[in-house]
Structure 1
Amino acid sequence: MADATRTFYQNPMNPLAGTEMGRTVAAMAELFERTTRVYSKPEWQIHDTLVGGLRVPVVDRTVMTKPFARLVHFERALPKERPANPRFLIVAPMSGHYATLLRGTVEALLPYAEVYITDWIDARLVPLTEGRFDLDDYVDYIIEMLHFLGPDTHVIGVCQPAVPVMMAAARMAHDEDPAAPASMTLMGGPIDTRVNPTGVNRLAESKGIDWFRDNAVMKVPFPHPGFMRDVYPGFLQLTGFMSMNLDRHLIAHKDFFWHLVKNDGDSAEKHRIFYDEYNAVMDLTAEFYLQTVEEVFINHSLPRGEITHRGLRLDMSKIRHTALLTVEGENDDISGVGQTRAAQTLCSSIPDDMRVHYLQPKVGHYGVFNGSRFRAEIAPRIIDFALTHGLQARERRAAQPSPASTDASGSKDEVPDPADAAPAPAPMAELTLAPPADPIEEAAMEAEHRAAELDLPHGVDEAASPAKGASGLMKALRKVKRKS
């Protein structure tokens, strides 16, 4: 009824369509319809990327299918003679939203890497005959995908997957698996939620696992394929997400209403794009959800050294040959500052020249893996870290001759393996960007950020676009700087 009302008052044949009253009624109807809609899984909508100045087509292909996940490869149409790029496996969060929430993460890495991502399947769509899916199965999926991709794969765990990614790396290190990842990047993950606990962490500890089992688990209703499967419903997770910043969501919807009334189509469309993604949620299997809450947020099994996989207690100190990069956001209200960095302490056997921690100023949880600061400041560090610690880089360093030292007796000391002594960007350093040289350069950088936020499609005439002000300002400021 709301959708029909909106259509009626937007119909050009209706004399009220162009009036303020007509726009007001249509705005109320659309706001109500969007609030009550069941949102479907969004599309990736990544059709091309820019590689070395050349715009090439991109096709997302499913290369592995499991009952609860698909492995998606973003295939770039590159010339065969082009040197191989680093290969990334992005492990998307299984925390309510679909993997498409990481669209910006994928787009930022595509110009420099072969990108694969775990595309988790909505639990309400998986029949009971496919069996259970818990934290152990999650780790098994990651290991199987790393086997499929082969050695020299760089794995990225965004938020919730940071824990199972570490578990998979520890299990593969224990088994001396040759397909163990070359590097492991953990971003905004709850490695040790005892450090700087957030509202999410305090809720889990105050309620206890029985409360979650009694209040957060439901059965999938008919006629979904997963009928009678116990799940943690996505709409409950969405309610939790929105309640954390309820005032901001209410203000956003109020602004959306007035944008419609004032016929501000561009601002209204930005709202639609964001909430079409944000409101699209999936169900999680009850066993995975409850096990994650209990092990990660209540018992703190990982930092206590008590986490297990298939009955084997995992020792994070077994990880020796996988480089470690941890990334946190200064204003993260989901995974507090220090929770992800705890991985650096747990992985005590990784050499100092193979580990880096980076704290990104002025970003929250979402900004750790998306947005202009991620594209400009975090993604380049991830790419550089992979290039530094990839197999090809190690082979090149190993091929370089190293002079052997001679002691007083004339015998030669053993030459250390260059791969083990490879230089790192900054051993366990808090990497921070150097401040701009002067105010003119600072203004130019801000102009670049604003232009990047607009995300103009390729081929748009800059003179006819709103980015002209930012781009022109950047050029003018730098011209003044050169003259001065």
Structure 2
Amino acid sequence: MWQDQDIYITSWKNTQKGGLFGGENHVAYVIRFMEQIGRGGHILGVCQPCVQALAAVTVMSASTATPLSMPLVAVPVDVRSPSSVNDLANEKPLAWLQRNVISTVPGRLPCAGRRVYPGAVQLTAFMPMNMDRHRGQHRKLYEHLTGGEAAKAQRIKDFYDDNFAVLHLTEEFSIQTIDHNFQQAGLATGDLTYRGRKRDPSGITRTAPLTDKGRRDDICGLGQTTAAHDL
């Protein structure tokens, strides 16, 4: 899109100075971002943040800054179809997750005392879901390196560099995401709320939706993304 568009990319705010950062904070941030861009913008969401993108467009559907289009790529809108991620998010209650995957940042580090879902723990949960594929890719990496195929090896290295560059997520964001998006399927069941009020995506009439998902995507199950059109 670089040659034809001005591209703006949202970034996580560093929360080490305190203050909550949960799902509603994320929605408010996206709304403020779109209002700053102003009339004529578009919003492109990829994977789980699409939930907040869809919620933001729902809330601001009557605003002059409402985006003209909303491409959503591999978004878990309706998670009631089976996938390995859904199984992982639903096999344990929230209290178990808070005890076992949420940690307190040690006193010697910035953000000391902050409750987070650590990046290393995220990877520990993510990698075993496709361990055979990861083993195969690392075998290919070795073969490409020993065979002098630098470009092919670099593609695999780039993929894993991206996947391993994980952030510590705040406890409230992580738990709210698992609770509302996965265990309750809040978007699909019509229970989307923002600041204490239910919000209905059917009010989106000025933003053109587009959904896209890979056929072999084992993270986001079949039908989970196209459900946005029904909403």
- TM-score normalised by the chain length of structure 1: 0.45
Aligned to 1:201: 86
Q: How far is 1:317 from its partner?
A: 1.4
SS in 2 for 1:186: strand
User: How many angstroms apart in 2 are the aligned matches of 1:211 and 1:158?
Assistant: 28
Match of 1:132 among 10, 15, 20: 20
SS in 2 for 1:120: coil
SS in 2 for 1:114: coil
The answer as to 2:74 corresponding to 1:182 is no
Q: How far is 1:268 from its partner?
A: 4.5
Within a 5 Å distance, the mapping from 1:83-482 to structure 2 comes to: 109-121=1-13, 126-127=15-16, 129-173=17-61, 176-194=62-80, 196-257=81-142, 262=146, 264=148, 266=150, 267-346=152-231
Q: Report if the CA contact (8 A) 2:71-2:210 is conserved.
A: yes
User: How many angstroms apart in 2 are the aligned matches of 1:259 and 1:146?
Assistant: 44
User: How many angstroms apart in 1 are the aligned matches of 2:156 and 2:57?
Assistant: 39
Q: Report if the CA contact (8 A) 2:15-2:21 is conserved.
A: no
Distance 1:180 1:190, change over 3 A: same
Q: How far is 1:184 from its partner?
A: 1.0
User: How many angstroms apart in 2 are the aligned matches of 1:113 and 1:200?
Assistant: 34
Equivalent AA in structure 1 for residue 113 of structure 2: M
Distance 1:253 1:331, change over 3 A: closer
Q: How far is 1:258 from its partner?
A: 5.3
Aligned to 1:481: none
Equivalent AA in structure 1 for residue 208 of structure 2: A
Q: How far is 1:284 from its partner?
A: 0.5
Q: Aligned pairs, how many?
A: 230
User: How many angstroms apart in 1 are the aligned matches of 2:128 and 2:201?
Assistant: 35
User: How many angstroms apart in 1 are the aligned matches of 2:69 and 2:154?
Assistant: 39
User: How many angstroms apart in 1 are the aligned matches of 2:192 and 2:33?
Assistant: 22
Q: How far is 1:310 from its partner?
A: 1.1
Q: Report if the CA contact (8 A) 1:126-1:225 is conserved.
A: no
Post-superposition CA distance 1:57-89 (Å, at most 9, x none):
xxxxxxxxxxxxxxxxxxxxxxxxxxxxxxxxx
User: How many angstroms apart in 1 are the aligned matches of 2:90 and 2:157?
Assistant: 36
User: How many angstroms apart in 1 are the aligned matches of 2:140 and 2:64?
Assistant: 54
SS in 2 for 1:165: helix
Q: How far is 1:300 from its partner?
A: 1.0
User: How many angstroms apart in 1 are the aligned matches of 2:197 and 2:185?
Assistant: 17
User: How many angstroms apart in 2 are the aligned matches of 1:140 and 1:311?
Assistant: 13
User: How many angstroms apart in 2 are the aligned matches of 1:159 and 1:136?
Assistant: 17
Q: Give unpaired runs (5+ residues) of structure 1.
A: 1-108, 347-484
Q: How far is 1:111 from its partner?
A: 1.9
- The higher relative CO (CA closer than 8 Å, separation ≥ 6) is in 2
CA RMSD of aligned residues (A): 1.9
Q: Report if the CA contact (8 A) 1:329-1:337 is conserved.
A: no
User: How many angstroms apart in 2 are the aligned matches of 1:245 and 1:209?
Assistant: 24
SS in 2 for 1:130: coil
User: How many angstroms apart in 1 are the aligned matches of 2:173 and 2:70?
Assistant: 23
Post-superposition CA distance 1:64-123 (Å, at most 9, x none):
xxxxxxxxxxxxxxxxxxxxxxxxxxxxxxxxxxxxxxxxxxxxx1122111111225xx
Q: How far is 1:253 from its partner?
A: 2.8
- TM-score normalised by the chain length of structure 2: 0.92
Q: Report if the CA contact (8 A) 2:90-2:182 is conserved.
A: yes
SS in 2 for 1:326: strand
Q: How far is 1:224 from its partner?
A: 2.5
User: How many angstroms apart in 2 are the aligned matches of 1:321 and 1:137?
Assistant: 24
Q: How far is 1:269 from its partner?
A: 4.1
User: How many angstroms apart in 1 are the aligned matches of 2:15 and 2:27?
Assistant: 19
Q: How far is 1:246 from its partner?
A: 0.8
Equivalent AA in structure 2 for residue 189 of structure 1: V
Q: How far is 1:241 from its partner?
A: 2.2
User: How many angstroms apart in 1 are the aligned matches of 2:177 and 2:28?
Assistant: 15
Q: Over alpha carbons, which structure has the higher Rg?
A: 1
Equivalent AA in structure 2 for residue 114 of structure 1: D
Q: How far is 1:283 from its partner?
A: 0.7
Distance 1:203 1:178, change over 3 A: same
Q: How far is 1:257 from its partner?
A: 4.3
Equivalent AA in structure 1 for residue 2 of structure 2: L
Equivalent AA in structure 2 for residue 285 of structure 1: T
Equivalent AA in structure 1 for residue 15 of structure 2: V
Q: Give unpaired runs (5+ residues) of structure 2.
A: none
Equivalent AA in structure 2 for residue 180 of structure 1: T
SS in 2 for 1:113: coil
Return the structure number with greater strand share: 1
